């Protein structure tokens, strides 16, 4: 089923990884924008709401850069609620990029991570010498997740780590810092030396992982290390948590260990969650940026690893280090870390609850005698369907023994299971009133932890992971997980958090099957996709996906454990459809009942127009739009729609005829001031006659008549489900269409008069007809913003005469006509106001003489300039009252809004005096944007018309329209709305200059490959307020190769991508 647009809701633009922007008015046509490109219009901080069992909210203490989570533009920053809408947040708040790190004395070979210092701090006078030594081992981690993957979303964050092996360059931090997906990270030591970090291990379940750095990169200090001492943790121990808390360079937080057997914190469904382990707890009040900080005793040994905290209390949660020590030894020796699972989640249950579960007194007595310090036993909390324990263990089973040994704590049980990967373990459990035994195959946990993903249509899919499957209680391997929907999957509504089961007629249990299914499709085709949303796994959906791979790369990435990079390989693309599949299809028109007259005469000329933008350029905050179109020339396939349906030229257009046949179309014209666009489809793709031309009223089309107040009209419009709406009403008022400058800048309707109706139906748009069914006006949606920056839409009636210059030229020549303008924003002015500005009595009488019963006397005033670099900008000023054009009095805006002459002679009133001016006009581009350049995650283009309106002067012709999440541009401060004026001290005035500089820069970097200096580029930018900044940007051509997109008339879409600049 296809997406319905009846409510005109503007949905998230990312996150998808997918994108979440503020919603527009209820009648906005934008359907949904998804991160496809995951652009910078999402909320700023990587805050994810979550709760813990005791209703307190737990947060992970890594921190995100303030601009990292905006799903395409950095103009408004809001917090995003995570799954469940809970009140807390996963703390990934802003941390400064210049955070500190530290070292310590080297470990011994005999006991590299276990301290033999007894737990007795009586001899230590203070913490000062311990902390002075420890802070030299703690590093600030700056990391960027370059692609959404599994439970993580793309973006930038900062956290903490500490050196645990100085010789090998091993740094311990949290798993959610090391990240399961592709990550680029650096560590900053206490002396502000920066080293590259390579992720070498992240645990599939527990919240720890290791980075590696090259100690030779440190030139001004020697790395030291902190010893791991998990056995020293005691209740009542005084501790210090040292790290990058709240983005500070160094924070030292004090606390006292209160619990060693706390349940692992819950961060929310669909998020990363630890399980099958105890956590420690203390009231140290850690917050964003402190993830990965060592929890130190007074001797400077790490007794735990800081991982999360509560946003409603000072409680902090620490991961015990027993399993970390085991993994470190193997990583140090370059050996794989065995991890086993039976896909069952356990929990520690106290003895009083165990008795209620049926545990006999004899078994309790035996368990207490075997482990006097234990307060309970382990029990099965959940069993994943399809796993080794499915059908053999049940929730509530009390674990008595594994391979003949009793285990009352998680670490010992996990060690036993890890040692049996690929083999069976024998488990005895107490269930109800009897003992049961089962032999369970131990599965390799790494095998069900994804290490590959496919980039498809601007989105990312990966194998369904154990983490996600456990979170929702579904089987592993049942489909591919949508980490970011992008352009293609977003067209079917398969957003982030969906699981795709089938593409076309092929099942997709893994990414290999998904890639094969996509390759079997045809480019430009429409294929069914079967999927379900994880929050509703019981409800499968089938929707139609537009197969569009021409805009983005189609490739598979595989994690390379040796380098930490993800290696790409291109995948087979869908082939063009064979000629046999392009046979014409019939689209029979459906007659309307007589009760809907006069709609029957025009209804056959209506088509449905859908537009999807692959990139957020030209100020777009959404990527999917839909609305009605009117066929004005069926033989040539010309369709007119409003610019709230087709807002920009870069994208895919689909025209649906008679609700039956979907045809590809191309943008022919985007009117730069009036609110309409023209698209063209190929009539040869239809069997039989094309849709008839709309019956335009000759007098209104020629401009001899226009819509006036009190005139009776019939609204013939379309609802979201393509049903007709017919209503007889009257024109309530005729006024100038008022729209505001938008942020980010985007097209707005200007210098045109429209009408409002007495009784306006709720619809997507349509036409205004006379009683005989002839079209006298267009009923269109006009997009704008209110004072708070919220998107708004309004329905407005436009004279059909506005179409005549464009439609007549397209019919005659097949090309859009030249469009010229004075490039000023006009507004009406009453004679009384003009009199106060010094207008003579004769001019006032002239204006009053031009008044009609339908229109009060008015004049036109220049409200502002629409571009700072046009000839008119040097001659006209805001506040000028326009009196004459070419010797004739100016009566309404239609005489000035669109002109065809290269220049006009104007008489204006300025400062109480009349001036005669010869003003050249400006030729406007009917397509506006014709080229886009991508570099390091920034989409660069020539400033478009809406941008020119909002600046005093143009710093350059190189404008940043969008930055993508997880990119260097996003990480190092390039923001949408900036102009690039220099790259590495080379001035760049045009996009061509920019491309030439990038080509020279790439050659220069390749000659100096391997040096740190070659990877950083100085970029001088100027913002909207003309403030200049110099940014240092780290170039990453592996994950973010440069490319350009330019218009190409020979391409089916009208665009072609050049992969290498």
Give the pLDDT of residue 249.
61
Is residue 35 scored above 50 in pLDDT? no
Q: At what angle do helices 410-418 and 322-332 cross, to 10 degrees?
A: 30
CB-CB contact of 1047 with 1054 (8 Å): yes
For the whole prediction, is pTM greater than 0.75?
A: yes
CB-CB contact of 521 with 506 (8 Å): no
DSSP-derived letter for residue 575 is B
CA distance 255 to 470: 33
Closest CA to 211 of 169, 251, 245, 253: 169
Q: How far, CA to CA in Å, does 819 sit from each of 310, 671, 896, 925? A: 60, 8, 12, 7
Percent with pLDDT over 70 in the chain: 86
Q: Helix, strand or coil for residue 766?
A: strand
Compute the residue count for the chain.
Answer: 1061
Give the pLDDT of residue 542.
96
CB-CB contact of 986 with 959 (8 Å): no
- Tell me the pLDDT tens digit for each residue of 852-873: 777 778 899 999 988 888 888 8
343-441 in CATH: which number? 2.30.42.10
Percent with pLDDT over 90 in the chain: 68
Is residue 667 scored above 90 in pLDDT? yes
CA distance 759 to 143: 56
Catalytic residue set: 176, 207, 290
Is residue 8 scored above 80 in pLDDT? no
Give the mean pLDDT of 903-923: 93
819-924 in CATH: which number? 2.30.42.10
Closest CA to 938 of 827, 1042, 786, 817: 1042
- Tell me the pLDDT tens digit for each residue of 742-776: 999 999 999 999 999 998 899 999 999 999 999 99
Please state the φ and ψ torsions of residue 595, each to the nearest 5 degrees: -65, -15
- Tell me the pLDDT tens digit for each residue of 259-311: 999 999 999 888 999 999 999 999 887 777 789 999 999 999 999 999 988 87
Give the pLDDT of residue 59.
56
Residues forming beta bridges with residue 506, ordered by sequence position: 503
Give the pLDDT of residue 766.
96
What residues does each domain of the chain span? Answer: 125-328, 343-441, 446-555, 597-687, 698-808, 819-924, 931-1058
CB-CB contact of 862 with 880 (8 Å): yes
Give the pLDDT of residue 1005.
59
CA distance 271 to 91: 13
- Tell me the pLDDT tens digit for each residue of 121-141: 444 457 888 888 889 999 999
| Assigned superfamily of 931-1058 | PDZ domain (2.30.42.10)
Residue 416, H or E segment: helix 410-418
| Arch. (CATH architecture) of 125-328 | Beta Barrel (2.40)
Do 446-555 and 931-1058 come out as alike in CATH topology? yes
- In the predicted model, what is the mean pLDDT of the chain? 85
Domain topology for 597-687: Thrombin, subunit H (2.40.10)
CB-CB contact of 455 with 38 (8 Å): no
698-808 in CATH: which number? 2.40.10.10
Q: How far, CA to CA in Å, does 44 sit from each of 48, 105, 155, 658, 719? A: 12, 39, 10, 44, 36
CA distance 411 to 415: 6
Closest CA to 271 of 81, 452, 446: 81
- Tell me the pLDDT tens digit for each residue of 63-108: 543 333 333 333 333 333 333 333 333 333 333 333 333 323 333 3
Is residue 245 scored above 80 in pLDDT? no
- Tell me the pLDDT tens digit for each residue of 946-974: 999 999 899 999 999 999 999 999 999 99
| Bond preceding residue 463 cis, omega within 30 of 0 | no
CB-CB contact of 733 with 741 (8 Å): no
Give the pLDDT of residue 1058.
83
CA distance 927 to 668: 8
Give the mean pLDDT of 406-422: 93
Domain topology for 446-555: Pdz3 Domain (2.30.42)
Half-sphere exposure of 59 (CA within 13 A, CB side): 33
Q: Which two tokens stand for residue 960?
A: 């940043």
Q: How far, CA to CA in Å, does 925 sit from each of 372, 668, 1053? A: 82, 11, 19
Q: Which two tokens stand for residue 148?
A: 């959404």
Q: How far, CA to CA in Å, does 13 sit from each of 6, 317, 486, 914? A: 19, 34, 10, 50
- Tell me the pLDDT tens digit for each residue of 327-379: 999 999 999 999 999 999 999 999 999 999 999 999 999 999 999 989 999 99
Is residue 567 scored above 60 in pLDDT? yes
């Amino acid at each position: 089923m296809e997406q319905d647009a009846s409510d005109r809701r503007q949905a998230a633009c990312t996150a998808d990884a997918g994108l979440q922007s503020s919603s527009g008015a209820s009648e906005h046509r934008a359907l949904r924008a998804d991160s496809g490109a995951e652009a910078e219009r999402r909320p700023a901080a990587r805050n994810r709401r979550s709760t813990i069992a005791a209703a307190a909210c737990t947060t992970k203490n890594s921190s995100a850069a303030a601009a990292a989570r905006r799903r395409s533009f950095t103009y408004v920053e809001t917090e995003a609620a995570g799954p469940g809408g809970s009140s807390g947040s996963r703390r990934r708040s802003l941390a400064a990029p210049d955070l500190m790190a530290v070292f310590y004395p080297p470990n011994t070979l005999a006991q590299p991570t276990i301290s033999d210092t007894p737990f007795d701090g009586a001899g230590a006078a203070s913490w000062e010498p311990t902390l002075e030594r420890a802070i030299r081992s703690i590093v600030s981690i700056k990391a960027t997740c370059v692609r959404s993957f599994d439970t993580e979303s793309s973006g930038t964050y900062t956290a903490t780590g500490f050196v645990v092996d100085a010789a090998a360059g091993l740094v311990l931090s949290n798993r959610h810092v090391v990240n399961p997906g592709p990550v680029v990270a650096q560590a900053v030591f206490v002396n502000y030396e920066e080293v590259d970090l390579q992720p070498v291990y992240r645990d599939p379940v527990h919240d720890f992982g290791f980075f590696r750095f090259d100690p030779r990169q440190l030139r001004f200090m020697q790395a030291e290390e902190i010893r791991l001492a998990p056995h020293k943790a005691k209740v009542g121990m005084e501790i210090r948590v040292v790290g990058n808390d709240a983005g500070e360079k160094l924070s030292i937080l004090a606390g006292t260990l209160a619990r060693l057997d706390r349940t692992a914190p819950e961060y929310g469904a669909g998020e990363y969650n630890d399980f099958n382990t105890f956590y420690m707890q203390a009231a140290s009040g850690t917050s964003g940026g402190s993830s990965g900080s060592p929890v130190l005793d007074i001797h400077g040994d790490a007794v735990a690893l800081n991982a999360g905290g509560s946003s409603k209390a000072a409680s902090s949660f620490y991961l015990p280090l027993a399993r970390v020590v085991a993994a470190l030894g193997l990583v140090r020796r370059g050996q794989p870390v065995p991890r086993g699972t039976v896909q069952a989640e356990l929990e520690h249950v106290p003895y009083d609850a165990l008795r209620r579960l049926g545990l006999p007194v004899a078994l309790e007595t035996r368990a207490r005698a075997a482990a006097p310090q234990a307060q309970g036993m382990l029990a099965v909390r959940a069993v994943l369907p399809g796993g080794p324990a499915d059908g053999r263990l049940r929730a509530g089973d009390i674990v008595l023994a594994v391979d003949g040994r009793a285990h009352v704590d998680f670490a010992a049980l996990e060690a036993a299971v890890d040692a049996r990967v690929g083999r069976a373990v024998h488990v005895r459990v107490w269930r109800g009133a009897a003992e049961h035994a089962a032999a369970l195959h131990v599965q390799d946990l790494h095998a069900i932890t994804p290490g590959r993903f496919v980039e498809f249509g601007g989105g990312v899919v990966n194998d369904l992971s154990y983490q996600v499957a456990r979170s929702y209680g579904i089987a592993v391997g049942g489909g591919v997980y949508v980490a970011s929907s992008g352009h293609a999957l977003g067209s079917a509504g398969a957003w982030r958090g969906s699981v795709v089961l089938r593409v076309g007629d092929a099942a997709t249990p893994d990414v290999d099957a998904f890639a094969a299914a996509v390759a079997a499709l045809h480019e430009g085709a429409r294929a069914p996709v079967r999927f379900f949303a994880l929050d509703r796994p019981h409800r499968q959906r089938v929707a139609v996906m537009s197969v569009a791979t021409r805009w983005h790369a189609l490739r598979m990435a595989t994690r390379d454990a040796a380098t930490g990079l993800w290696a790409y390989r291109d995948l087979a693309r869908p082939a063009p459809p064979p000629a046999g599949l392009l046979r014409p299809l019939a689209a029979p028109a459906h007659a309307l009942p007589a009760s809907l007259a006069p709609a029957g005469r025009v209804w056959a000329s209506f088509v449905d127009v859908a537009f999807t933008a692959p990139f957020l350029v030209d100020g777009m905050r959404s990527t999917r739009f839909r609305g009605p179109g009117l066929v004005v020339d069926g033989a040539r396939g010309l369709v007119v729609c409003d610019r709230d349906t087709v807002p920009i030229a870069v994208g895919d257009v689909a025209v649906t005829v008679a609700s039956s046949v979907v045809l590809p179309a191309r943008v022919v014209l985007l009117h730069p001031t009036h609110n309409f666009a023209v698209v063209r489809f190929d009539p040869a793709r239809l069997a039989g006659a094309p849709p008839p031309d709309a019956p335009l009223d000759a007098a209104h089309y020629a401009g001899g008549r226009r819509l006036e107040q009190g005139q009776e009209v019939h609204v013939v419009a379309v609802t979201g489900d393509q049903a007709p709406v017919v209503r007889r009403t009257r024109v309530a008022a005729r006024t100038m269409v008022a729209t505001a400058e938008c942020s980010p800048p985007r097209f707005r309707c200007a210098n045109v008069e429209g009408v409002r109706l007495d009784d306006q139906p709720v619809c997507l748009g349509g036409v205004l007809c006379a009683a005989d069914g002839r079209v006298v006006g267009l009923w269109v949606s006009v997009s704008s913003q209110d004072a708070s920056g919220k998107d708004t839409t309004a329905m407005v009636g436009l004279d059909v005469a506005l179409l005549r210059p464009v439609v007549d030229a397209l019919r005659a020549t097949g090309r859009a006509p030249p469009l010229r303008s004075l490039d000023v924003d006009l507004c009406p002015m009453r004679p009384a106001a003009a009199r106060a500005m010094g207008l003579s009595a004769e001019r006032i009488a002239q204006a009053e003489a031009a008044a009609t019963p339908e229109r009060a006397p008015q004049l036109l005033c220049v409200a502002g300039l629409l571009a700072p670099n046009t000839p008119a900008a040097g001659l006209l000023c805001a506040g000028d009252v326009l009196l004459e054009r070419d010797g004739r009095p100016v009566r309404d805006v239609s005489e000035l809004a669109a002109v065809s002459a290269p220049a006009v002679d104007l008489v204006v009133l300025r400062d109480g005096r009349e001036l005669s001016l010869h003003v050249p006009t400006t030729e406007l581009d009917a397509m506006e944007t014709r080229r886009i350049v991508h570099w390091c995650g920034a989409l660069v283009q020539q400033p478009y018309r809406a941008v020119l309106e909002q600046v005093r002067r143009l710093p350059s012709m190189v404008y940043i329209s969008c930055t993508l999440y997880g990119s260097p541009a996003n990480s190092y401060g390039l923001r949408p709305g900036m102009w690039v004026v220099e790259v590495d001290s080379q001035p760049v005035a045009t996009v061509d200059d920019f491309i030439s500089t990038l080509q020279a820069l790439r050659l220069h970097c390749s000659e100096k490959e391997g040096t740190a200096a070659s990877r950083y580029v100085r970029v001088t930018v100027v913002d909207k307020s003309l403030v200049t900044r110099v940014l240092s940007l780290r170039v990453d051509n592996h994950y973010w190769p440069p490319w350009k997109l330019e218009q190409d008339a020979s391409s089916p879409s009208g665009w072609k991508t050049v992969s290498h600049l």
